[in-house]
Amino acid sequence: MSGHRDQTTQLAFGIDIGGSGIKGAPVDLATGTFAQDRTRIPTPAPSTPQAVAAVLADLIGGYHLPDDVPVGVAFPAPMQHGVVRSIANLDASWTGVDLPALVERATGRHAVAVNDADAAGVGELRYGAARQSDGVVLLTTLGTGIGSALFVDGRLVPNTELGHLEIDGHDAESRAADSARERENLSWDAWAQRLQRYFGVVEDLLSPDLIVIGGGVSKHHEKYLPLLHLRAPVVPAQLRNAAGIVGAASLAADA
């Protein structure tokens, strides 16, 4: 981060909503870094839209921000123009909710909302491992499942669910996600073989020019990325857990 900040620093507020925690911070859009420390609040139970909206208002209210600072939300579900299509990790009443409208009512600020993997992808494309990358860029997050974000010449193709490709009769993420490595106590070598099969199929379908691997396990990338043999370069994500907040904030500023 730069040591001096003047009043013209362009800010947007990024929020990453998860099943266990809701995290947020103001983002300096020039650098893609947090302008102030991140705050985390446990996800309410039950995690209804109204309960989550109240948490978002509290979260943003904890920072003294100009009224024109917009809000970007990374959300753990497929989103169609801001509307939640289906939901697995939060209360079932989220289906059909217009998330930007909910956030705007709760905070009085302009808001945008995108799928959390898409938000992380935007963060990496604009500020991280895929900076200045043209062509077809694929970001995947390897965690409980496999999230995906696909870009063509910098433009997001929203809501790709490439973790749910059926490969060898299995939902791909059930075999190749980091949770499968932990659940089955796989060695890095054995897990890399599953990743090779998964990314080989994805590569045959999409011919990406660059593949970025994110998720918590990306910090151990030296244990498995060198074992993959793909046509495209494969690189670890750089923003780690900040990517969703940064990407969502960046998209809010666009709008």
- How far is residue 157's CA from residue 120's CA, in Å, rounded to a whole number? 13
Instruction: Give the number of other Cβ atoms within 10 Å of residue 20's Cβ.
Output: 9
Give the chain's length: 255
Q: Are 148 and 160 in contact (CB under 8 A)?
A: yes
Q: What is the mean pLDDT of residues 114-139?
A: 96
- Kindly state the DSSP code that residue 94 receives in the 8-state scheme: G
Provide the whole-model pTM: 0.93
Residue 13's nearest CA partner among 56, 46, 75 is: 56
Q: Are 24 and 59 in contact (CB under 8 A)?
A: yes
Q: 42-74: per-residue pLDDT in tens? A: 999 999 999 999 999 999 999 999 999 999 999
Residue 208's nearest CA partner among 192, 230, 227 is: 230
pLDDT for the residue numbered 101: 98
pLDDT for the residue numbered 240: 86
Whose tokens are 């970007």? That residue is: 72
Given a cut of 70, whether residue 216 has pLDDT beyond it is yes
- How far is residue 221's CA from residue 38's CA, in Å, rounded to a whole number? 25
Given a cut of 80, whether residue 191 has pLDDT beyond it is yes
Residue 210's contacts (CB-CB under 8 Å, 6 or more residues apart) are 130, 133, 135, 136, 137, 138, 232, 233, 235
Q: 88-110: per-residue pLDDT in tens? A: 889 999 999 999 999 999 999 99
Domains and CATH numbers, the chain: 11-119+243-254 (3.30.420.40), 133-237 (3.30.420.40)
